[in-house]
Structure 1
Amino acid sequence: MIPLAVSYASPSVLESGRDSQLLGLAANDHRPVRLVARVRNPLLFRFCLQTLGSLVWSDDTWISDDEWTAFTLDPVVTVHPDRIMFEAFSRDQSAYGLLIIDRDQFETSGQVSCGTTNVDFTAWLYGALAEMRSSRTTTFRVEAGGIEVSTRQAGGRFEQKVELPESWVRGFLNISAAMAFPGTRLRAEPVDMLAVIRYLQQHKAKTAPRALRYEMIPGREAEIVVEPFETRFPLVGANHGYPKPRIIRTWGRRRLRLIEPLLPYAEHVEIYLKGRAMPSFYAVGLPGYTFVLGLSGWTANSLTTGTGFAAGSSVSDSAVDRALMLLQQQYHIDVETLCAAATMDKPTAMAALETLIRRGRAVFDVQARRVRYRELLAEPIDEAKIYPPDPRLVQVERWHREGAVHIRDTILRKTTKTRQFKLDGQWIQRQVDLRDRVLTGRVGEQEEVEVVLDDEGRIIFGRCGCDHFVSYALSKGPCAHLMALERQSRRHLHDPSALKSTANPISSLPNEGTEVLLDDNNEYDDE
């Protein structure tokens, strides 16, 4: 457990009059931030906060209250010069919510203090949000000093000494690492997603399988297939650009109902699929607002379990310090910016940013593909306490000491694909070169190991015959054999004699009709 002191000057309140209303969120005194502003669109503001509240208090576990000891911590709020972010977990810790609001949606008053804090967000406040009306002038206030106008009615200062489970912190770190993980992006119309959710509400599957199956066939728009009914829902305009058929399955589909209230007002929905039984993300885009719903591979697979996607990369402390300094100055950066500003190669820059995410000092913006500065806790996180010893890393170190890792072949793979981009409101097509490194070799007792790395040095695919890979593929992170081969590849990275070039995928990569467990990171270029 991690001791956490939370102090509020007064409870959060919602006060309504005939012509005006005030939503005051009390911030943690130990981590002060300040924002007082008039809300330009009270209706969307209310719906988005209600959706976040629905997520905070939702629980889809199929066990009794006596068996389940849920932990709920107040949402984390981050104020940046260009946006405000709310982050929260569901009670069963299988769903994550990120509400992003552009700063131009507020008319600020007085000084704005940027930073990250917890806010008092009770079940009472969640219910009271229904009293907000778009016809009233709405003031939003988040401040550590408390809400003076309501202190007499709502009570005075109160403090909480919370024993924060390591699993809760690990969940926040894992979710950012999962968002940064390679995958497939589809852009869907809100009405198509609404049709899927309404169909699931009206049809209850009594037999397996119960997955949502995303099918991407060349020359056709992507489709969602609801199992076991095999009902198809075409995603109009969801171009994927795959030259071969791809199928990705996700489970725990009933949790999609959380975003249903937002869809009638949404402009688009971006779907981020990380692979079969891996986390998926749904970014609902509204005018000036974005609500990102992150779901674990299935309901019982909590985002807080294991090390998952947050397996650490080897990088120097100086590289991490330079990345942190730049992030604190600019609030958000991408890999290319860090490479140019700190004179790093892409794998080193990516590893430095991943380390900051792992330490709770940054969060990944899945839409902009950028890393944002966010201190999850007031004190630096002790990685050794948050992450249990990973036997995979111990095994990797042992194999390297024993000289049991051998790379037989390293191939530079270049693939040219057509991508759609939106420029000045118009859709255009461009040719994009995708570059990967495909390594094959022997690790320990495994004679045939294959790993595919993107241009940032991350594992995006692999093949191995070990029990871990056969059971989980990449849904619980790569196996020790893939990790060992990836680490060995760093020694070959700058050795031209070890590389062979090819313009076509090697024969051992997925063939047509094969279900893909993880797709290429560059598919995020799709619109």
Structure 2
Amino acid sequence: MQDLAYQYNAVSTIQKVDGINKLVLAHQTELEEVNNIPCFFWGNLTEPYTTAKCWSTIAKVVRSSFGPIPPSLRDPIVSAGAERMRFEGFSSCNGVYVRLDMKPEAIDGEFIASGTTNVDFNDPMLNALNAIQKNERVTLAVGQQEVQVISSKAKVVEKKVTLPTRWIKGLTSVQLYLADMEQRFEIPKIQAIQLFQSLPKGVTKGDFFVTKRAGKFMFATLTSPDSVRIGGLQRLRLLEGVLPLLDKIMVYESADRETCAFVCEMGKMQLLMAFSPDNYRGFSGEGKALDSMTQQVPLEWIYGLNALLKSNEMFNPTLLSIEHDIDFGTMEHLTAGLSSMGLLGYDLSENAHFYRRLPFKTERILSLNPRLKNAKKLIANDEVQFVQNTPAYIEALVKGSGVMHKVIIEGEQQRCTCDWFTKYQGKRGICKHVLAVKMLVEGGE
């Protein structure tokens, strides 16, 4: 699948006028109604030095790669709304996800519109950000606005950029990993700096674990019940630029102990960095989302919620069910479906979802799940035969390439005789054969 190509009508610019740094982040989206918005936000940064360092860290992440995919220039995504802004991005290999959550007290201005868009992070703008000193004033505009000092001086160009489809797929799956995490450690600033100073030099091989011994946090090569696994340990160096600015780091780990996330608390903002299980495995796979797709969400519901909810607004399914008279079971499937499409993000500190309006057409998001499409094809061609179908035990034969695969679902356990399941043992999501069976059983088709 080809990357998504689009053009910025102008580049992001930063210029000092009368002692004030004025930063305009050019935006671009597939959605015409969003792209026609002249400006999402206009106002001042209350912590410009810290914000600039966090943006530089985001730029460092999106320009890095730890797998076979070479690093390339990519632009992060910003969500504006609910009195806060969130900047998100992935490394080129999709193995590192980064998000800056700017709380209401981090920005002082006007939210002119709510939405999510790509923003241009170019080299001159990043160089200027790195030069910002403490106590400097910075005015920020996301998008373009007619009344701005620098618009008449900025060079307007057509800048063609690409956004890899694996980024879009990553956004549809990473929050499922985050929602499965629990906090394991809270590391104060001094101990966090000491921990990072002990990072091994160069590229490391094998698993490493963060653990606490005698009141001190350290990296270990052996696991223990209270340790957190770090796949691709050298990726933690991406956080080094913000270590002097943080108050503490919260370390989270998924239930399967495969993925982890570091949340840097900096008072008025948080910088989250999540790491895939290993360098060679990114967040761009569809596997994590497939279990949530066995019951499809009607598109009219999605369009209705898009009109109802703002970007960054906390998503409370119970309250939505009561206010709009939606059955709780239906809302559960709706929540799972929205998560699997990337329309819900997950805030670890709040332990809750937030709504995200992706800057891509719904049809594009839905097209990014080949296993789902293949499962639907199996069902349409009547290639699933049930041998036994009870609440406790399901056995079915599903047609493969010249062979019939046996699918068994027993409680939470599910297995298939296909090569995909044999190779990955469910670690990359269910195969198309199991998915087709579950969709038939659960009435998804």
* 1:87-126 equivalences in 2 (<5 Å): 87-108=88-109, 112-126=112-126
Structure 2 SS opposite 1:476: coil
Contact 1:38 1:138 in 2 (8 A): yes
Distance, in Å, in 2 between the alignment partners of 1:71 and 1:144 is 26
Asked if the contact 2:186/2:248 (under 8 Å) is kept, the reply is yes
CA-to-partner distance for each residue in 1:114-133, whole Å, 9 max, x for gaps?
A: 22222221123222212111
Equivalent position of 1:257 in the other structure: 237
CA contact (8 A) 2:85 2:312 kept: no
DSSP-derived class of the 1:355 partner: helix
- Find the residue that maps to 2:52 and give its secondary structure: helix
> Which residue identity does 1:365 align to in structure 2?
D
Q: Can you list the C-alpha shifts for 1:329-372, whole angstroms capped at 9, x where unaligned?
A: 99331232233234445553233133334445443334324333
Q: What runs of 5+ residues in structure 1 fail to find an aligned partner?
A: 233-244, 410-439, 453-461, 492-527
1:93-118: CA deviation from partner (whole Å, max 9, x where unpaired)? 3212111101222221x563222222
Aligned to 1:34: 40
Q: Which residue of 1 aligns with 2:309?
A: 327
Q: Show the counterpart of 1:272.
A: 252
Task: Give the 5 Å matches for 1:498-517.
Answer: none
- CA distance, structure 1, for counterparts of residue 361 and residue 427 of structure 2: 31
Judging changes above 3 Å, is the alpha-carbon distance between structure 1 residues 399 and 289 closer, same or farther for their aligned structure 2 residues? farther
TM-score by length of structure 2 reads 0.79
Over 3 Å counting, the alpha-carbon distance change for 1:449 and 1:53 in structure 2 is same
Aligned to 1:254, the other structure's residue is in SS state helix
Correspondences of 1:435-454 after superposition (within 5 Å): 442=395, 444=397, 449-452=409-412
Give 1:287 deviation, angstroms: 0.4
Select 2:50's aligned residue among 32, 44, 47: 44
Flag the 1:188–1:386 CA change in 2: closer, same or farther, 3 A: same
> CA 1:329–1:164 in 2, change beyond 3 Å: closer, same or farther?
closer
Structure 2 spans left out of the alignment, 5+ residues: 29-34, 398-404
Structure 1 Cα separation of the partners of residues 311 and 126 of structure 2? 35
Change (3 A) 1:314 1:212: same
Between the aligned partners of 2:407 and 2:296, the Cα distance in structure 1 is 29
Q: Please say if residues 323 and 353 of structure 1, whose CA atoms lie closer than 8 Å, have aligned partners that are also in contact.
A: no
Query: Is 1:380 aligned to 2:362, yes or no?
Result: yes
* Deviation larger for 39-48 or 27-36: 27-36
2:208 maps to what in 1?
Answer: 212
The alpha-carbon deviation at position 79 of structure 1 amounts to 1.0
Inter-partner Cα distance in structure 1 for 2:119 and 2:104:
19
Cα deviations across residues 130-181 of structure 1 (Å, max 9, x unaligned)? 21112322322223237854456541x222444544333222222233333x
The residue identity in structure 1 corresponding to 2:46 is: R
C-alpha deviation, 1:286, in angstroms: 1.4
2:186·2:251 contact (CA, 8 Å) conserved in 1? yes
Aligned 1:340-359 pairs, distance under 5 A: 340-359=322-341
Residue correspondence of structure 1 range 50-449 to structure 2 within 5 A: 50-61=56-67, 68=69, 70-108=71-109, 112-145=112-145, 148-151=148-151, 154-155=154-155, 157-162=156-161, 164-180=163-179, 182-191=180-189, 192-202=191-201, 205=204, 210-213=206-209, 225-227=219-221, 230=222, 245=225, 249-276=229-256, 278-304=258-284, 306-311=285-290, 312-317=293-298, 319-321=301-303, 323-328=305-310, 331-377=313-359, 379-383=361-365, 385-390=367-372, 393=375, 397=379, 401-407=384-390, 409=392, 442=395, 444=397, 449=409
Q: Corresponding residue for 2:32?
A: none
Aligned residues: 423
Distance apart, 1:46 and its partner CA:
2.0
Q: Find the aligned partners of 2:391 and 2:343 in 1 and give their Cα distance.
A: 38
Q: Work out the CA distance in 1 between the residues paired with 2:44 and 2:37.
A: 23
Q: Which residue of 1 aligns with 2:31?
A: none
1:470 Cα deviation from its structure 2 partner = 5.5
How far is 1:449 from its partner?
4.6
Look up the equivalent residue of 1:167 and give its one-letter code: R
8 Å contact from structure 1 (residues 85, 99) kept in 2: yes
Q: Provide the secondary structure at the position in 2 that maps to 1:262.
A: helix
Q: Is the 8 A contact 1:407 1:485 kept in 2?
A: no
Whole-angstrom CA distance in 1 between matches of 2:270 and 2:173 = 21
- In structure 1, how many angstroms separate the alpha carbons of the residues matched to 2:208 and 2:58? 23
Instruction: Please give the alpha-carbon distance, in whole angstroms, between the structure 2 residues aligned to 1:353 and 1:95.
Output: 25
Partner of 1:15: 15
Aligned equivalents of 2:332 and 2:42: distance in 1?
36
Amino acid at match of 2:116: T
Map residues 457-472 of structure 1 onto 2, 5 A cutoff: 462=413, 464=415, 466=417, 468-469=420-421, 471-472=423-424
CA distance in 2 between partners of 1:344 and 1:247 (Å):
42
Aligned position for 1:25: 25
Report if aligned partners of 1:19, 1:135 keep a CA contact under 8 Å in 2: no
| Residues 351 and 225 of structure 1, relative CA distance in 2, 3 Å threshold | farther
Matched AA of 2:274? G
**Percent of counterpart pairs with the same letter?**
19
1-structure distance, mates of 2:365, 2:327: 25
Distance between the aligned counterparts of 2:223 and 2:193, measured in 1?
Answer: 14
Structure 1 position 476, deviation (Å): 0.8
Distance 1:392 1:272 in 2: 34
3-state secondary structure, aligned to 2:428: coil
Deviations 1:220-251 (A, max 9, x none): 99976522xx499xxxxxxxxxxxx5776341
Quote how far apart the aligned CAs of 1:293 are: 0.9
Q: 1:472 to 1:247 in 2, by over 3 A?
A: farther
Please tell me whether the aligned partners of residues 26 and 144 of structure 1 are also in contact (alpha carbons under 8 angstroms): yes
1:296-330 deviations in Å (ceiling 9; x for gaps): 221121222x3222222314415545544543499
Q: Which amino acid aligns with 2:175?
A: S
Residue 211 of structure 1 deviates from its aligned partner by: 1.2
